[in-house]
Amino acid sequence: MLLTIERPFATVGLEQMYATGYGTHPLRSGRRVLPLGRLVVVLLLALAVGLGLAVVAHGGTTPVYSTVVVQPGDTLWSIAAEHYPSDDVRARVQDIESANGLGGPIIQVGETLRLPA
């Protein structure tokens, strides 16, 4: 192709473009994603985001517990006061009750209690 006065801005012909590996179509994969496939991808992404937000809202990790075996004379109040000296004992008694599924402050000697960290 020669540049002449009649064609000062000559363009590359389609034959030359195809010969060098450049097409006139945008770059696309040979496979098409069907609308159902797109729906599945969107739903999976929504599920992943929802689960991630639920984990963050719930606290993320499972609570850590230590255990104590009830000795003669122990009460929930004394156990809470001994293991959590700087905390509100009333709140900690409730925490121990809920962590162990207790309906009240009654515990038995030899019983193993989980203490929230």
What is the secondary structure of 43-72 as a DSSP string? HHHHHHHHHHHHHHHHTSSPPPEEEEEPPT
Whole-number pLDDT of residue 23 = 56
pLDDT of residue 13: 53
pLDDT for 92 equals 94
The whole-number pLDDT of residue 5 equals 62
* Token pair for 71: 């000795």
pLDDT score at 52:
86
Look at residue 55 in the predicted model and tell me its pLDDT: 79
pLDDT at residue number 27: 58
Q: Strand ranges (DSSP E) for 1-117?
A: 65-69, 112-116
**What one-letter code names the amino acid at 21?**
G
| Coil vs helix vs strand at 116 | strand
How far, in Å, CA of 91 to CA of 84, rounded?
10
- What are the pLDDT tens digits along the chain (117 aa)? 555 666 655 555 545 555 555 555 555 666 666 788 888 999 999 999 998 888 778 776 677 889 999 999 999 999 999 999 999 999 999 999 999 999 888 999 999 999 998
Cβ density class 14-25: b for 16+ within 10 Å, e for less: eeeeeeeeeeee
**pLDDT recorded at residue 2:** 55
